[in-house]
């Protein structure tokens, strides 16, 4: 076994590998970019080496920098993790040429499966079912359009390289084909430096089923059963589970055998995942093979009791697989939910910012958390916005679902917008709980996207109580430090000269302004709330944890304050309010009319129109990219751009004004 390995990755991925290496007594080496100097994976590793600036293209994606760090550390092997260089055949070759063991499959297998078109041809020869499509070398737009017509709409355009939904577009009718092709190619070129695509028939209601396979250098190949990864947004997985519900032993054996045949056809060694689409009639089709460990591998570990990173290390060291196929059994059910810094109500736009409050559920035999961040860390513009993976297990799916709901309710994050409440909505949806799912689940069930409601009276009461208790504490401290601690001006009972003992607290709730009259009582406060009056009292500790009694009901909550912004976390929900201070708003003004702002922090990828040229409402104006996602800024109405404030390649923050736009009617009026 190795004595020291380098992990050519960051964040949750690197932390996951380090945990297993430490358990096995293997020393670990981390690499880091400028912004990752204080990252969790750097702190966990035994050694760490700087490899460049923050953008991955200038650090984590440069093989020479990784190999140079490996030389400096005198390690024996390099683990690529998943993502970044993990499926880069040239990197695998470079590691071996430099004298390091590459903890992954042979470079030839990576090349074969890295090209979706080549992979389809190999699978066809191996008698693995494939989806009808075009996998040729001719990439002329006209030929591709003709091929799409022959396949029949809807079709899906896929980049031959990479994965994770990048360079992928679904086209439902011919009129949108060329625009979708251009977008897929542009995204593929930016992500994988390769804009070659294939076309496939788009199955409208399939399930995404994948098989975890493992092979050693001695010719042994096995599978570790299936995972259902159908819950996706933008073709990227959100919730995964193992085993897949509704899959009988006969179908499981057939898909498993097909996955093993796929691995054998390319002389595979190491961990891999063979992905299939399962149609409603029970037919399944090879989609692609990921020549690495997958993000969702923990659900397989939970139902088999195996550590797949340990298996990777054993196989890379030349040892035999720890188990035979017949020795593996499925025990219980596991579900993984990916927690992202993103806004589901704004098309899952990624968010950046500091994790000013982070509290996770208690880990146990039923709850596991894989993460690479801590409270106070930043979710950066430069990398994937995933905060953590929440994995739950029980003896059956119903039990696992129960733990999922409990754990999501106990997960607290403040400082960035997250998908926690969206995940909770999925977890309780009747179709999900019954296993009636497919890859269109999120798009189909619009009820998952109900607009956030205004703060309830209970949330407002908690916010009021936090403000009042904090003021009481501040007043006590001021009295203690003053020359006259007994002055009536230090009283915290609402005392006012020649006036009733009441006060008004005003909160901003999105676009709403809510004013609440507070009447001070000896043992608490009477609040005049939008739905009626409630008596409240409670306690607040230094961590923001509150035990409150509101209208006779006892409530536990956590309230995170950043200046005058309050995040109220209770019963698995999160609500943001701002305590209104009139003096703090003096001099503020509305954003000038006719200016379009960035909906997220990111890079300007393309400027699509000329200035002073009339465009129609909905015309794409600018394409931005951040954290593996493209977003198009479109014309809000008929009119023209009078000025662009940034050029291609510029990095902008959220809400930065990007351009000046004038409506057509305004222009006519000026004339």
**pLDDT: which is higher, 606 or 333:** 333
Pair 13, 155 in one domain: no
Of 557, 585, 613, at which residue does a domain stop?
Answer: 585
Percentage above 90 pLDDT, the chain: 73
292 assigned to active site: yes
3-state secondary structure of 622: strand
CB atoms within 10 A of CB 648: 12
Catalytic residue among 227, 233, 252, 292: 292
Of 555, 585, 615, at which residue does a domain stop?
Answer: 585
pLDDT at 482 over 80: no
Contact in structure between 288 and 119 (CB atoms under 8 Å): yes
Pair 359, 435 in one domain: yes
Domain of residue 572, CATH code: 3.30.700.40
Contact in structure between 140 and 197 (CB atoms under 8 Å): no
Residue 338 lies in a domain: yes
Pair 254, 345 in one domain: yes
Pair 373, 306 in one domain: yes
pLDDT at 588 over 50: no
CB atoms within 10 A of CB 187: 24
For residue 551 the two structure tokens come to: 């209208």
Pair 172, 217 in one domain: no
pLDDT at 583 over 50: no
CA distances to 421, 432, 599, 666 from 343, rounded to whole Å, are 10, 21, 11, 34
Residue 327 DSSP class: G
Comparing 430-444, 595-609, 616-630, the range with the smallest average pLDDT is 616-630
Kindly tell me the burial class for residue 480, based on how many C-beta atoms sit within 10 Å of its own C-beta (0-12, 13-18, 19 or more): exposed
- The per-residue pLDDT for 162 is 67
Comparing 237-246, 255-264, 389-398, 620-629, the range with the smallest average pLDDT is 620-629
Contact in structure between 102 and 77 (CB atoms under 8 Å): yes
Residue 664 lies in a domain: yes
Using pLDDT thresholds of 50, 70 and 90, give the confidence band for residue 480. low
φ/ψ of 218, rounded to 5, equals -95, 5
Mean pLDDT of 205-229: 97
- The per-residue pLDDT for 96 is 98
pLDDT at 654 over 80: no
CA distance 45 to 29: 6
Mean pLDDT of 39-66: 97
pLDDT at 187 over 90: no
Mean pLDDT of 496-509: 76
Using pLDDT thresholds of 50, 70 and 90, give the confidence band for residue 596. confident
Pair 307, 431 in one domain: yes
Residues 6+ apart with CB under 8 A from 44: 14, 15, 18, 19, 28, 30
- The per-residue pLDDT for 589 is 35
Range of the domain at 546: 457-585
3-state secondary structure of 47: strand
For residue 91 the two structure tokens come to: 């990197």
pLDDT at 584 over 50: no
Mean pLDDT of 356-380: 97
The sign one gets for the Cα dihedral 528, 531, 532, 534 is negative
Of 585, 604, 624, at which residue does a domain stop?
Answer: 585
Average pLDDT of the chain to the nearest whole number = 90
Residue 582 DSSP class: G
For residue 173 the two structure tokens come to: 């009718």
Pair 603, 556 in one domain: no
- The per-residue pLDDT for 136 is 87
Residue 599 lies in a domain: yes
Mean pLDDT comparison of 347-356, 397-406, 474-483, 574-583, highest-scoring range: 397-406
Mean pLDDT of 495-521: 82
pLDDT at 257 over 80: yes
Residue 229 lies in a domain: yes
Pair 367, 510 in one domain: no
- The per-residue pLDDT for 132 is 86
Residue 267 lies in a domain: yes
Residue 110 lies in a domain: no
**pLDDT: which is higher, 205 or 375:** 375
φ/ψ of 450, rounded to 5, equals -60, 135
- The per-residue pLDDT for 346 is 87
Pair 539, 483 in one domain: yes
CA distance 52 to 57: 10
Pair 481, 534 in one domain: yes
Strands 602-607 and 524-529: unpaired
Mean pLDDT of 90-112: 97
Residue 226 lies in a domain: yes
Mean pLDDT of 492-507: 68
Give the relative orientation of helices 177-192 and 141-151 as an angle to the nearest 10 degrees: 120
Pair 581, 479 in one domain: yes
Percentage above 70 pLDDT, the chain: 93
Query: How do residues 315-367 score in pLDDT, each as one tens digit?
Result: 999 999 999 999 999 999 999 999 999 999 888 989 989 999 999 999 999 99
Comparing 68-72, 442-446, 592-596, the range with the smallest average pLDDT is 592-596
Using pLDDT thresholds of 50, 70 and 90, give the confidence band for residue 670. very low
Pair 643, 541 in one domain: no
Number of structural domains, the chain? 5
Domain of residue 45, CATH code: 3.40.50.20
pLDDT at 495 over 60: no
């Amino acid at each position: 076994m190795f004595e020291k390995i380098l992990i050519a990755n960051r964040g949750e991925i690197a932390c996951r590998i380090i945990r297993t290496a430490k358990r096995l007594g293997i020393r670990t080496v981390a690499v880091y970019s400028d912004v990752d100097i204080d990252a969790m994976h750097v702190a966990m590793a035994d050694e760490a080496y700087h490899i460049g600036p923050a953008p991955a293209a200038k650090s984590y994606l440069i093989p020479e920098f990784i190999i140079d760090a490996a030389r400096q550390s005198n390690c024996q092997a390099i683990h690529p993790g998943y993502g970044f260089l993990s499926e880069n055949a040239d990197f695998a070759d470079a590691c071996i040429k430099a004298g390091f063991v590459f903890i992954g499959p042979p470079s030839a297998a990576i090349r074969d499966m890295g090209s979706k078109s080549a992979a389809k041809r190999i699978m066809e020869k191996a008698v693995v079912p494939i989806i009808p499509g075009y996998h040729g070398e001719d990439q002329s737009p006209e030929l591709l359009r003709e091929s799409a017509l022959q396949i029949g709409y809807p079709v899906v355009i896929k980049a031959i390289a990479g994965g994770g939904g990048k360079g992928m577009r679904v086209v439902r009718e011919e009129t949108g084909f060329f625009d979708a092709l251009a977008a897929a190619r542009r995204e593929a070129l930016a992500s994988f430096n390769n804009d070659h695509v294939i076309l496939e028939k788009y199955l409208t209601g399939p399930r995404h089923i994948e098989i975890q396979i493992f092979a050693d250098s001695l010719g042994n190949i096995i599978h570790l059963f299936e995972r259902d990864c159908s819950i996706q947004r933008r073709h990227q997985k959100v919730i995964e589970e193992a085993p897949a519900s509704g899959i009988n032993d006969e179908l499981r054996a057939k898909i498993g055998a097909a996955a093993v045949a796929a691995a054998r056809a390319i002389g595979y060694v190491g961990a891999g995942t063979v992905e299939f689409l399962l149609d409603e009639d029970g037919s399944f089709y090879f989609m692609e093979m990921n020549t690495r460990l997958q993000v969702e591998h923990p659900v397989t570990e939970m139902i088999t009791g195996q550590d797949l990173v340990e298996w990777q290390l054993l196989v890379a060291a030349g040892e035999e697989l720890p188990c035979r196929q017949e020795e593996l059994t499925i025990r219980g059910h596991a579900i993984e939910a990916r927690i992202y810094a993103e806004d589901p109500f704004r098309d899952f736009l990624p968010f950046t910012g500091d994790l000013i409050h982070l509290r996770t559920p208690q880990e146990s035999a039923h709850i596991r958390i894989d993460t690479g961040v801590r409270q106070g860390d930043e979710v950066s513009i430069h990398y994937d916005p995933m905060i953590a993976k929440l994995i739950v297990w029980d003896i059956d799916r119903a039990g696992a679902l129960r733990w999922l709901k409990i754990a999501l309710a106990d997960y607290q994050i403040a400082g960035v917008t997250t998908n926690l409440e969206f995940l909770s909505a999925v977890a309780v949806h009747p179709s999900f709980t019954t296993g009636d799912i497919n890859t269109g689940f999120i798009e189909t069930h619009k009820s998952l996207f109900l607009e956030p409601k205004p703060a309830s009276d209970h949330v407002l009461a908690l916010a009021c109580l936090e403000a009042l208790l904090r003021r009481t504490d501040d007043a006590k401290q001021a009295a203690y430090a003053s020359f006259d601690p007994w002055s009536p001006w230090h009283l915290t009972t609402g005392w006012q000269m020649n006036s009733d003992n009441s006060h008004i607290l005003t909160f901003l709730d999105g676009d709403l302004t809510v004013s609440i009259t507070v009447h001070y009582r000896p043992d608490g406060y009477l609040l005049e709330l939008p739905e009626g009056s409630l008596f409240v009292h409670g306690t607040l500790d230094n961590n923001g944890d509150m035990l409150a009694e509101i209208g006779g009901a006892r409530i536990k909550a956590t309230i995170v304050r950043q200046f005058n912004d309050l995040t109220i976390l209770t019963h698995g929900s999160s609500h943001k309010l701002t305590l209104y201070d009139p003096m703090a708003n003096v001099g503020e003004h509305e954003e000038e009319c006719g200016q379009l702002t960035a909906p997220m922090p990111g890079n300007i990828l393309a400027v699509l129109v000329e200035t002073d040229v009339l465009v129609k409402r909905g015309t794409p104006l600018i394409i931005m990219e951040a954290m593996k996602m493209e977003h198009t800024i479109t014309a809000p109405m008929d009119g023209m751009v009078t000025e662009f404030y940034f050029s291609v390649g510029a990095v902008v923050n959220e809400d930065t004004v990007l351009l000046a736009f004038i409506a057509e009617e305004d222009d006519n009026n000026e004339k």
